[in-house]
């Protein structure tokens, strides 16, 4: 079946612009995660949804970052007034809830470059 | 404060030999550990995992060992193949939490033909 898809794959934004990144999880996956991966680092957790409920947003770096999943499937990560330090790859992952294995399936990521 | 540490940024081995990738963690609440493999311009792909109640899990050429007392795990790949060349991430999840994964910085494995 289809895996996790993300769009756009690449985004260049000028400093101060708003951006919206989209994630389509695997059909039927209840849990959805967003991670940020800076160059040379591992992915870092941003936020977590179970269906449409955002249960953990402890990793969002500032109030410029906002995520939503209104119908429990597609999710959007929005970054307002982008800064150069926001340049990174944004990864979306989904998983079956309560599977006991914590295995998450990742999309290809969106590479955001803020100039 | 890095809760999951991969102290070797890179590793180079010959085809057919064993690759050993190491990972250390500091959080005693971690109860599940995973290894992901990542090729350039792709998302991480799940490779193998282990629960904290086990000390070994094997899947084909891949074996993960967990030493809870030392807070250390390792991934063994044998025999190594050129297609195994990728960045390998160790990740951990804590019980009772949101199932979020905490990743190390990764180790770039190069398998030379």
Q: Which residue of B has its CA nearest to A98?
A: B99
Q: Which residue of A has its CA nearest to B40?
A: A108
Q: What is the pLDDT of residue B99?
A: 83
Q: What is the pLDDT of residue B65?
A: 98
To the nearest whole Å, the CA of B75 is away from the closest chain A CA by 17
Measured between beta carbons, the chain B residues lying within 8 angstroms of A93 are 43
Q: What is the pLDDT of residue A98?
A: 63
Measured between beta carbons, the chain B residues lying within 8 angstroms of A104 are 46, 99, 101
What DSSP string runs through A4-63? -EEE-SEEEE-TT--EEEEEEPPTT--EEEEEEE-TTS--EEEEEEETTEEEE-TT--ST
For residues A37, B38, A103, A92, the Cα torsion angle rounded to the nearest 10 degrees is 40
CB contact under 8 A, A43 and B42: no
CA distance A24 to A3: 9
Average pLDDT over residues A82-108: 89
Q: Is B35 on the interface with A (CB under 8 A)?
A: no
Answer whether residue A97 shows pLDDT above 60: yes
Measured between beta carbons, the chain A residues lying within 8 angstroms of B104 are 42
- Higher-confidence position of A65 and A96: A65
In A3-42, the residues whose Cβ lies within 8 Å of chain B are 4, 31, 33, 35, 40-42
- Higher-confidence position of B59 and A99: B59
CA distance B93 to B97: 8
Q: What is the pLDDT of residue B98?
A: 72
pLDDT tens, residue by residue, B44-86:
999 999 999 999 999 999 999 999 999 999 999 999 999 999 9
Q: What is the pLDDT of residue A100?
A: 64
CA distance B75 to B65: 7
Q: What is the pLDDT of residue B23?
A: 98
Residue found under tokens 């309560």: A98
Q: What is the pLDDT of residue B91?
A: 96
Burial B49-76 (b: 16+ CB within 10 A, else e): bbebeeeeeeeeebbbbbeeeebebbbb
Measured between beta carbons, the chain B residues lying within 8 angstroms of A51 are none
Answer whether residue A11 shows pLDDT above 90: yes
pLDDT tens, residue by residue, A51-90:
999 999 999 999 999 999 999 899 999 999 999 999 999 9
What phi and psi values does residue B71 have, to the nearest 5 degrees?
50, 50
Q: What is the pLDDT of residue A2?
A: 81
Give chain B's mean pLDDT: 95
CB contact under 8 A, B43 and A91: yes
Q: What is the DSSP pairing of strand B10-14 with strand B107-112?
A: parallel
Least Cα distance to B93 among B52, B65, B54 occurs for B52
CA distance A38 to A32: 20
């Amino acid at each position: 079946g289809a895996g996790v898809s993300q769009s756009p794959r690449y985004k260049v934004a000028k400093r101060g612009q708003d951006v919206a990144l989209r994630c389509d999880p695997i059909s039927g996956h209840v849990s959805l995660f967003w991670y940020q991966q800076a160059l040379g680092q591992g992915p870092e957790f941003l936020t977590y949804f179970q269906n449409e409920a955002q249960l953990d947003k402890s990793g969002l770096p500032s109030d410029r970052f906002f995520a939503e999943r209104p119908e429990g499937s597609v999710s959007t990560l929005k970054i307002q007034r982008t800064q150069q330090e926001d340049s990174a790859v944004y990864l979306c992952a989904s998983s079956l809830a309560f599977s006991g294995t914590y295995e998450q399936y990742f999309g290809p990521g969106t590479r955001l470059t803020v100039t | 404060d890095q809760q999951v540490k991969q102290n070797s940024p890179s590793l180079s081995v010959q085809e057919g030999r064993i690759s050993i990738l190491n990972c250390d963690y500091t959080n005693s609440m971690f109860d599940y550990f995973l290894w992901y493999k990542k090729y350039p311009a792709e998302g991480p792909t799940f490779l193998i995992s282990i629960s904290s109640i086990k000390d070994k899990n094997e899947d084909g050429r891949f074996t993960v060992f967990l030493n809870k007392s030392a807070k250390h795990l390792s991934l063994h790949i044998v025999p190594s193949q050129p297609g195994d060349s990728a960045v390998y991430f160790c990740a951990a999840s804590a019980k009772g939490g949101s199932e979020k994964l905490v990743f190390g910085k990764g180790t770039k494995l190069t398998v030379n033909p």
